[in-house]
Amino acid sequence: MFWLLTARRRLKELGILGMNRRNAAYILDHNPRHLYPLVDNKLTMRDLCEKIRVPTPAIYGTISRHSMLRRLEEHLGDREDFVIKPNRGSAGRGVLVLVGRDGKHFLRHNGERLRLDQLRQHLSDILSGMYSLGARPDEAIVQQRVRLHPAFEPLAYKGIPDIRVILYRNEPAMAMLRLPTKASNGRANLHQGGIGVGVDLASGLTHHAVQHNRMMMIHPDTGLPVIGMRVPYWGEVLDMARQVAEAVGLGYVGVDIVIDAEQGPMLLEANARPGLAIQIANARGLMPRLAEIDERARRPRPGQHQTASTEENPLRRCA
């Protein structure tokens, strides 16, 4: 029992936000339950993004009924590459990335060849709710495949990195870059072996990285450093994250953004229950930053005692 109390005390000293406190003090208090369906539904989020003019990967079509699978070849047309994903999925489950065709076969990034009937089966699983929140019947989305930005070529193994920004009261609190690896099968998923890289909010520079909760500096597949890289479009990434957080109305939210080689930053999704591994990627806890944002929210607004131009840039203290 003593070691448990000691561990808890140490986590508190480090400012680590635990799941219970996250749920009780931030999600329950700041995320109205009636707004969850908005961020849990990718099609609804796409509609919202169109209204606020936030770019998202193009949606080529949706499949909502099993009967539509009989005409799947017609629905797909002659598209060479695209992504299939569940509308109400989470954590990347059920996402299938297809990079090209070889005759009647569809190609995955690892060279695997899929027949049309295999695509039908995967889509049928999505419709049946195999990957959806609560295992409820779902829709399948056929979406644009994002192109890898040249800045990420040394850091990505057969996949597309994404950026997670956690925002509290519409202010960025912490950010990380998620890199695909061979272990994660080309997915930017930390639980499957992807790399989490902490990003300094003020500069956009990567400063710390972990894989399987172990600190690292070199990408295991490319042999190149993952520390000291500046994330492209960093100012636009933070602006987009703020815009999305304000539009969805959640006080504590994770916003996932991808950077396309031609179109720049694009929203992937928002999350009402963002995970806590971002603290490990940044080698620091969320609690001090959240307390700082709370304190600033209690201060008089700019113009009452000082002008906005004289305010300190809050991100400068997050380095």
Q: How confident is the model at residue 310 (pLDDT cuts 50, 70, 90)?
A: very low
pLDDT tens string 280-294: 999 999 999 999 999
Distance of CA 106 to the CA centre of its chain: 26
pLDDT at position 211 is: 96
Confidence of residue 275 (pLDDT cuts 50, 70, 90): very high
Percent of the chain exceeding pLDDT 70 equals: 90
Model confidence at 7, pLDDT cuts 50, 70, 90, reads very low
How confident is residue 231, by pLDDT bands cut at 50, 70 and 90?
very high
pLDDT value, residue 165: 99
Q: What does each C-alpha distance from 244 to 25, 78, 128, 237, 252 come to in angstroms?
A: 22, 33, 30, 11, 12
Query: Could you report the per-residue pLDDT of 74-104, keeping only the tens digit for each?
Result: 999 899 999 999 999 887 889 999 999 998 8
- pLDDT for the residue 280: 96
Gyration radius from the chain CA atoms: 21
Round the average pLDDT of the chain to a whole number and report it.
Answer: 90
Would you say 198 and 176 are in contact if contact means Cβ atoms under 8 Å apart?
yes
Among 184, 210, 212, 186, CA closest to 198: 210
Reply yes or no on whether the pLDDT at 226 is more than 60.
Answer: yes
Q: pLDDT (tens digit, 9 = 90+) per residue, 115-134?
A: 999 999 999 999 999 999 88
Q: Quick one: pLDDT at residue 301?
A: 72
HEC assignment per residue over 190-249:
HHHCCEEEEECCCCCEEEEEEECCEECCECCCCCCECCCCECCCHHHHHHHHHHHHHHHC
Averaged pLDDT, 261-266: 97
pTM here is 0.89
Measure the CA–CA gap between 188 and 167, rounded to whole angstroms. Answer: 20
Q: What's the whole-number mean pLDDT along residues 241-257?
A: 98
pLDDT > 80? residue 6: no
pLDDT at 111: 86
The 10s digit of each residue's pLDDT in 143-165 is 999 999 999 999 999 899 999 99
pLDDT of 242 over the 50 cut: yes
C-alpha to C-alpha distances, 229 to 35, 153, 172, 204, 209, nearest whole angstrom: 36, 12, 20, 8, 12
Q: Is the pLDDT of residue 250 over 70?
A: yes
